[in-house]
A and B are shown apart, each in its own frame.
Chain A
Amino acid sequence: MNALEVRALGYRYPDGTAALRDVTFAVAEGERVGLIGPNGAGKSTLLLHLNGLLPEHPAPVAAVHVFGTPVAEPHLTTIRARVGLLFQDPDDQIFCPTVWEDVAFGPQQLGLGDAALATRVARALDQVGLKGFDERLPHHLSRGEKRRVCLAGLLACEARLLALDEPTGDLDPRGRRELKGLLDSLPVAQVIATHDLELVVESCPRVIVLDRGRVVAQGPTAELLWDEKLMLAHGLERPHILRHRHPH
């Protein structure tokens, strides 16, 4: 079973602008897929569809399926526990007074008991390398630490599909390297929307190119990103790292 299936997904903003048109792709269980494209291509909008935050008025037939379950009203609670959405700005995502409470927020909504909750939070914090950060205050954390708290919040829900919006944006090299290592170590399916093409080359075997709301290409990362014409046509470029790697 695929972790994610998107079939002919279309979306218009309330003002009528088409944001997504006929988007179709699938992500296998445990697979990491890069989602690239210029600013305003619809990457973030697409991610918001993966757990049903969009569309505001669901169509009768769901265009998105997560582990075979349609992303639609009766299943939204299950879907949102399975799909972990990492938002671009960690300050939007961390809204609790302390790190522990924030990581516990998701599982709490799932109705976990105190003991199970404590175990989950401890495990999630351990997984992202933030052991002992329980009582820290969000505004005292660095960008990279905030990102990892966000990620722990998703892992604590036992998400099996992560939808990540610019996970390495505005991180310093160390923060980026650590986050990349962390993502690589997680055995769950991941859709990574990013401008960080080197991250895509290194972490995602497959890539989807989105432009003006359409999937303009999808396939093996090295092949697509090597195609300079394709890259330039869609506001991207051939990453340097490929020049040292590609067999041609």
Chain B
Amino acid sequence: MRRALLEPYQHQRSAIHRLLAAVKVGGALAFVLAIVLLPRAAWTAYAAGATLLLLLAWLSRIPPAALARRLLLVEPFALGVALLSLLQPNGLMIFAAALTKSTLCLFCMVLLSSTTRFSALLRVLWRIRVPSLLVTTLALMHRYLFVLVDEAGRMTRARRSRTFSRDRASAWRSSASVIAHLFVRSSERAERIYAAMCARGWKT
């Protein structure tokens, strides 16, 4: 399940998947810019954007439920920001517009990341001269996300196999210690990765 969320369906081969990564990144960027710059009440344009995305989603042949799940995962952040606008005068309209705009943008990104391999995305970012520190950070994050998820999974399973009570408080306590351990292990791993990089000629 977690795997599916992190790396969904990138291996599939639809027309959308086969499209050049650079084209997809460019298209997504243009789409997001357009949506952001649209006037607040351009509902027809929003609808057109949504139709376009749905059409692309259909063409990509990714199960709709999977896309929806990923979108829901990031939606709370958009909702949180949009909720603040309710406090202004004419708040409801601003809220609806902000929520629509960010949902469309997020859906566009979900679609992009679901149909493009992360390594291809990184290569595009690299080529269009996104600061290399940022690209390297993204690359390392993506690489070790999986290692970390696996490690957390193993630790949680080991913890659970020695937990005999259903006490909520102790469950919280043990999760906290798993997180603390994970933090220590990650920082140790970071040191080893750095050593391994140096061993292959990385210069600071």
Contact = CB atoms under 8 A, between A and B. Distances in A.
A185 interface: no
A91 B195 CA distance: 13
Contacts of A97: 118-119, 122, 139, 142-143
B133 interface: no
A91 B118 CA distance: 18
Contacts of B122: 97
Given A48-B195, A92-B193, A95-B193, A139 B147 contact: yes
Contacts of A93: 193, 196
Interface of B: 117-119, 122, 139-140, 142-144, 146-147, 189, 192-193, 195-203
Interface residues of A, number: 31
Interface in A116-165: 135, 137-139, 153-154, 157
Interface of A: 48, 51, 53, 77, 80-81, 83-85, 87, 89, 91-98, 101, 105-106, 109-110, 135, 137-139, 153-154, 157
Nearest to B197: A95
A81 B201 contact: yes
Given A97-B119, A97-B142, A137-B119, A89 B199 contact: no
26 contacts: A51-B199, A53-B198, A53-B199, A77-B201, A80-B198, A80-B201, A85-B196, A85-B199, A89-B192, A91-B144, A91-B147, A91-B189, A92-B189, A93-B193, A93-B196, A94-B143, A95-B139, A95-B144, A95-B193, A96-B143, A97-B118, A97-B143, A106-B201, A109-B201, A109-B203, A137-B119
Contacts of A92: 189, 192-193, 195-196
Contacts of A77: 201, 203
B190 to A, nearest CB: 9
A85 B197 CA distance: 10
B146 A139 contact: yes
A120 to B, nearest CB: 13
Contact of B119 (A109, A135, A153): A135
A135 B122 CA distance: 13
Contacts of B117: 135, 137
B143 A80 contact: no
Contacts of B189: 91-92
Nearest to B6: A139
A98 B192 CA distance: 19
Contacts of B119: 97-98, 101, 135, 137
A93 B143 CA distance: 11
Contacts of B142: 97
Nearest to B121: A97
Contacts of A154: 200
A98 B117 CA distance: 10
A153 B202 CA distance: 13
Contacts of A137: 117, 119
A229 to B, nearest CB: 36
A137 B197 CA distance: 18
Contacts of B193: 92-93, 95
Nearest to A101: B119
